[in-house]
Each structure stands twice: as structure tokens, then as C-alpha cells.
């Protein structure tokens, strides 16, 4: 009997069954869909029922629907029904939902509940949305000057040095500090230079009074502008690659001096994504002024000294102390917790500086109220079509400090949609400069449907040719190789679906290459078996020797290919990375199926026989 451990055969069977299960969603295809979301709220099951009934009454019946992450997705049998449904919902429920055109899988509800999803396709295979944003590079320079002004004021205040004023001249990119006399000038200069290393200050006079002047050089201005563009690219990539948005293989690249181009595969309408991309969200933690009446302050307009008037989401006035405990700049991480003890929450981590401030504040204020202020900055077009900056400051949480904490705590009082968005924005970081949308268009598959069809046909015909060759040339062992190759493709599809990688046209080429490498591995094994048989070795010993002695050659060739694939994946982008991802996963699956899968099938066919007279190879 041919000896091969039964646990390995069982392992192969289990892995293959799991692979088939994970790959099943790819058999159902996709349909045109609408995705409905509310601003800072969850779409409820009652909304789903009412929207479906509205469409049915108008003669447009969705072929399917589901709620996911607080959003409602409706599938339709045709593009015409999709567009008609969008118009009907906008007409019947104006400004109630944010509606995005998209594609949705026909995966059954029970599969979706298990988290199973089909393979994602890249921009070149399914089209998507193309966005172009303009970075306010002058705003980035202005922001830098404002930071210098605040730093200079803070240094002089901490050193208790009297001064007249700190002036910012934006047209000439200057910051001036005016002093009363030579003594305060000398002390002020020393204090500023001690806190702001690397700053070059020039001595000057303004109306006869001594002054310090900082002027940004053209090189510094250019560096600041380049930094703003590059930093915004990083932030946009972080936001798009977050699980909250679930955009497959987004491409973000610089375009010209001050523009950023974004490609979003699979999207037809970017309403929800655009809402996230242009935002700059942060938090401030402030103590509540418990000694004054906020209703009186709101009614009279007289705010007590040292306090500032805010409003909650419910438009209730709240008086908070002007001194900020911790700002959003001191956050190091934020994650959404949908099922915390107090409902939806955002877990926050602070850096060492913020943790020290929070620790001191909580130690001194146990039993007092602390509030969380959510600050949302975005740029929008007004009714006249002019870009305006909009800032919203709202108190999202007030809680009594029950104990001492420092670097890790939770923010409650948010709904699931708001909490997920807040965690995304805080974790990805704030934009270095405001963004203005300048172009948006839906695009079809970039290489054309004809080229896509040819690529798919090349993959199918190439695999069929390999299957036929193996079956004819190696007979029964060739049929075993064909089953192994089919299993390899199934496992590859399953892994790509599981990790959420997007398949591009270069990825299809990588699938064909992976199949070729798997065929090569089987040929090495089978030729080694035939060589052993020609040397007079028994069939049973030939099988064992063929698999054992071909292993080193197969491993060496696949490891070198794996190294090349990893390098392409780490340093490549776009189509190159799409090719590399499929190649790396394909190498792993082909190694498993060629070595363990083939051996398991040979054991099943020949292992139970007491004596093997001849091998069909």
C-alpha cells in the first residue's frame, strides 16, 4: 500500500471545502443598485419597508434589498429601473437620503450575514468614479503663519514678557512681534528662540518700537505647499482604504502642482465617499462651566469671562470653559465600538502629552462634568457657486468624571453611523489644507469591454489547453493534475474574496501565470515518477520518490517567484500591485494543491490497493 497520512488527506478535503464555500458568492453575479444613507443617522428597518412600498406603488419593484452598516442597498434588474427608482425616491423624500448609484451582488441574505462577498473588480474591469480635488496651497501657507503666531504668543505668555501685539501679514508672508521697549524685546526674543528652535528672526522697528520679524522664504513656501499636497494624498488614501468606506483598490495620485486625482473602482456615484473625503474633523475636551446658567447666556448674549457658549446636537446651550484640556492633535488612535456597555462608542488613545494633561485634569475634577466638542470643517459651494469654508462645533457628549484615566478612554453618545465616521476621520488624521472638488465623472472600463472579453477568453482557453494537454499526455495522472488545477483556481478565488483584493486585467494575467506554474509543478513530479519507473523502481516506490525528490526543485522555483511578487506588491502601485497580489496568493495555493492535493488524490486512487502493477502515467 502507498503510505500517506490520513490527516493530510483530511486537511486537503477541509481546505477545499472551505475554499468552495468562500468562492460560492462569485457565482451569483451583480445587479445595478442604489445605496441610501442618512446624514449622521442610521437607516432603520421601517425606512426600508416604506421605501420598498413607495417603489412598488410606482411600478418599480427591487429584486432585493439589505441593510448593512446603517445603509440601505436596493438591487434592480435593469439600469433603467435603478435610475427611475432614484428619481422617485428623490421626488417623494427630498433631502431625506444621500443616494449613491452602485453595483450590488445577488448573494443570498444568509451568505451576507456570514460576511461572505464576491471578488471585487478593479477600475479597468468594471469602471467607476473619477474625482479631482484642488488643494488650497495658499491656505496651507496661511495655516503655517497662524501656527507661528500662536506659538509666539504662547512663548511670550509663558515667559511673562510684555508685548504690544503679534501681527500676521498674509500677502507678504510675515509674522511680526511688537514690543514696548528694548528690555522686553531682548527677553521676548530669547523666549521665542528657546521654544521655537530653527526659527530665523530679524530685528526691525515698527513706528519707532522694537520688533521681531519672521518672513517665509520662497523655498519654505514651496516646501509647505508640497507638504500640504503630499500629506493630503496620504490622508485621502487612509480614509479610502479604511473598512468603513470599503472602496476596493482606490488610486490616489498627484496631478499637476496643486491637484489630486482619485479613481474609485465600482462606484457610479460618489455621494457618500465625497462626504468623507473633504472633511477635517477633530475633537476638543473641555470642562463644563457648572457655575453659570447657559440658558441666560444664550438669551442675553452675555457669556461669563473665561467661558464659551456651545450647543448640543439638540440645540441646547452649554457653557464650557475656554481652557482646552486635550485637542484632537494629541490623539494617536480611534476605533469604533458598536456594542460597548453604553451603546455605540469611539475608543480613543492619546499620546504622552495628552495623557499627562488628561490624567491631571481627571485627578483634579472628579465629580465634575467634562464635555467633548466635535469640530467639523469642510469646504462647500454656496448658492452663488462660491467656495466657502464651513465650520460646525457641537457638544456630542457630557459626562461626569467618575474616576482617574489618562491615555485610553471611550466617547459615548454617538450613533453607529456617526461613530464609524468619527473614528475614521480621527484615525486617518486631519487634512493639511482644505480641498475643493473641481471635477467628477463616471467612467467605463478603461480598457474597453472588448479588451476585457479578450483577456477573459485568453485565460479560459489557456487553462483549457493546459487541461487537455495534461489529460492526454499523463492519462490518469493528468486527470489528477486537472482536478488539482481546478482546485487551485477555486482556492485562489476564495482567498481573493476573503481578503477583499480587487481583480484587475493584470490580475487575470497573474491567474494564467499561476496556472502555468501549477502545471509546471505537476510536470516535475510526474516526470520524476516516470524516470523512477524507467529505472526499474516499483510503482509504489516511484510515486513516493517522485513527490519527495521533486519537492526541492518546486520549492526553489516558487520561492524565487514569491520574492519577486512580494517586491512588486510592496513597491508597486495600481496595475503592478494588482498583478502582484494575485501572483503571491496564487503561488501559495499552487504549492498546496500541487504537493498535498496531488498526493492526496494519488493516495485515494492507488493507496488502497495491495499491489500496484502499473501506473497510468
Please tell me which of 355-364, 396-405, 572-581 the model is most confident about, judged by mean pLDDT: 355-364
Distance CA 591, CA 599 (A): 12
pLDDT, position 242? 62
Task: Note whether 184 and 220 are within 8 A (CB).
Answer: no
C-alpha cell at 253: 495620485
Q: Among 151, 196, 155, 148, which Cα is nearest to 169's?
A: 148
Average pLDDT of span 198-216: 84
In the structure, what pLDDT confidence band is assigned to residue 428 with cuts at 50, 70 and 90?
low
8 Å CB contact between 4 and 603: yes
pLDDT tens profile 517-552: 888 888 888 888 888 888 888 877 888 888 888 888
SS3 591: helix
Burial class (CB in 10 A: 0-12, 13-18, 19+), 599: buried
Cα torsion 76, 81, 87, 92: sign:
negative
For residue 203 the three cell numbers come to 530685528
Band of pLDDT at residue 402, cut at 50, 70 and 90:
confident
Length of the chain: 617
Q: Report d(CA 480, CA 125) in Å as an integer.
A: 33
Helices (H) and strands (E) in the chain, counts: 17, 22
0.75 exceeded by pTM: no
367 contacts 360 by C-beta, under 8 angstroms: no
What is the set of domains in the chain, with CATH numbers?
Answer: 6-24+448-606 (1.20.1640.10), 29-106 (3.30.70.260), 138-221 (3.30.1360), 280-414 (3.30.1360.200)
Distance CA(268)–CA(215), nearest Å, equals 47
| pLDDT average, residue stretch 115-124 | 78
Q: In 3D, which of 606, 599, 610 has the Cα closest to residue 7?
A: 599
Please answer whether residues 506 and 578 qualify as being in contact, where contact means their C-beta atoms are separated by less than 8 angstroms: yes
Question: Tens digits of per-residue pLDDT, 91-111?
Answer: 888 777 877 777 788 888 888
Amino acid at each position: 500500500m502507498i503510505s500517506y497520512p490520513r490527516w493530510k488527506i483530511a486537511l486537503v478535503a477541509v481546505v477545499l471545502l472551505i475554499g468552495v464555500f468562500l468562492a460560492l458568492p462569485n457565482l451569483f453575479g451583480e445587479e445595478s443598485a442604489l445605496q441610501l444613507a442618512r446624514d449622521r443617522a442610521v437607516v432603520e428597518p421601517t425606512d426600508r419597508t416604506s421605501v420598498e412600498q413607495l417603489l412598488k406603488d410606482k411600478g418599480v419593484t427591487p429584486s432585493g434589498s439589505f441593510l448593512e452598516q446603517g445603509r440601505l442597498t436596493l438591487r434592480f434588474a435593469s439600469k433603467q429601473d435603478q435610475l427611475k427608482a432614484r428619481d422617485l425616491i428623490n421626488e417623494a423624500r427630498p433631502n431625506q437620503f444621500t443616494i449613491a448609484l452602485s453595483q450590488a451582488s445577488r448573494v443570498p441574505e444568509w451568505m451576507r450575514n456570514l460576511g461572505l462577498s464576491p471578488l471585487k473588480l478593479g477600475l479597468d474591469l468594471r469602471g467607476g468614479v473619477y474625482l479631482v480635488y484642488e488643494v488650497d496651497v495658499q491656505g496651507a501657507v496661511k495655516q503655517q503663519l497662524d501656527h507661528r503666531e500662536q506659538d509666539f504668543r504662547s512663548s511670550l505668555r509663558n515667559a511673562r514678557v510684555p508685548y504690544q501685539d503679534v501681527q500676521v501679514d498674509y500677502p507678504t508672508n510675515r509674522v511680526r512681534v511688537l514690543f514696548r521697549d528694548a528690555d522686553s524685546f531682548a527677553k521676548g526674543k530669547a523666549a521665542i528662540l528657546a521654544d521655537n528652535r530653527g526659527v530665523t528672526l530679524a530685528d526691525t522697528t515698527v513706528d519707532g518700537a522694537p520688533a521681531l520679524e519672521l518672513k517665509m522664504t520662497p523655498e519654505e513656501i514651496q516646501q509647505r505647499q508640497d507638504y500640504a499636497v503630499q500629506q493630503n494624498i496620504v490622508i485621502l488614501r487612509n480614509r479610502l482604504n479604511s473598512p468603513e468606506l470599503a472602496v476596493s483598490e482606490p488610486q490616489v495620485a498627484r496631478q499637476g502642482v496643486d491637484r489630486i486625482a482619485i479613481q474609485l473602482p465600482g462606484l457610479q456615484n460618489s455621494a457618500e465617499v465625497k462626504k468623507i473625503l473633504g472633511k477635517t474633523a477633530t475633537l476638543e475636551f473641555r470642562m463644563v462651566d457648572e457655575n453659570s446658567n447657559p440658558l441666560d447666556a444664550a438669551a442675553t448674549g452675555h457669556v461669563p469671562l473665561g467661558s464659551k457658549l456651545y450647543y448640543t446636537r439638540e440645540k441646547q446651550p452649554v457653557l464650557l470653559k475656554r481652557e482646552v484640556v486635550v485637542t484632537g492633535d494629541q490623539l494617536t488612535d480611534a476605533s469604533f465600538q458598536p456594542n460597548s456597555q453604553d451603546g455605540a462608542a469611539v475608543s480613543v488613545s492619546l499620546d504622552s502629552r495628552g495623557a499627562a494633561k488628561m490624567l491631571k485634569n481627571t485627578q483634579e475634577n472628579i465629580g465634575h462634568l467634562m464635555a467633548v466638542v466635535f469640530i467639523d470643517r469642510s469646504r462647500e459651494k454656496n448658492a452663488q457657486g462660491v467656495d466657502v469654508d464651513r465650520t460646525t462645533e457641537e457638544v456630542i457628549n457630557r459626562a461626569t468624571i467618575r474616576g482617574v484615566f489618562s491615555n485610553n478612554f471611550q466617547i459615548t453618545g454617538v450613533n453607529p453611523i456617526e461613530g464609524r465616521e468619527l473614528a475614521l476621520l480621527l484615525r486617518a488624521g486631519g487634512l493639511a489644507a482644505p480641498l475643493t472638488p473641481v471635477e467628477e465623472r463616471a467612467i467605463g472600463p478603461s480598457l474597453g469591454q472588448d479588451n476585457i472579453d479578450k483577456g477573459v477568453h485568453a485565460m479560459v482557453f489557456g487553462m483549457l489547453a493546459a487541461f487537455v494537454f495534461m489529460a492526454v499526455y499523463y492519462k490518469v495522472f493528468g486527470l489528477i493534475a486537472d482536478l488539482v488545477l481546478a482546485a487551485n483556481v477555486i482556492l485562489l478565488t476564495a482567498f481573493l474574496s476573503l481578503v477583499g483584493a480587487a481583480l484587475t486585467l493584470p490580475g487575470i494575467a497573474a491567474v494564467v501565470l499561476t496556472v502555468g506554474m501549477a502545471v509546471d509543478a505537476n510536470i516535475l513530479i510526474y516526470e520524476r515518477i516516470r524516470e523512477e519507473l524507467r529505472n526499474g523502481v516499483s510503482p509504489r516506490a516511484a510515486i513516493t520518490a517522485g513527490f519527495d525528490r521533486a519537492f526541492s526543485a518546486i520549492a526553489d522555483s516558487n520561492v524565487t517567484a514569491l520574492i519577486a511578487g512580494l517586491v512588486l506588491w510592496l513597491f508597486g502601485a495600481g496595475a503592478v500591485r494588482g498583478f502582484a497580489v494575485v501572483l503571491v496568493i496564487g503561488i501559495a495555493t499552487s504549492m498546496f494543491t500541487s504537493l498535498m492535493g496531488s498526493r492526496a488524490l494519488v493516495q485515494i486512487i492507488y493507496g488502497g490497493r495491495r499491489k500496484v502493477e502499473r501506473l497510468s502515467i
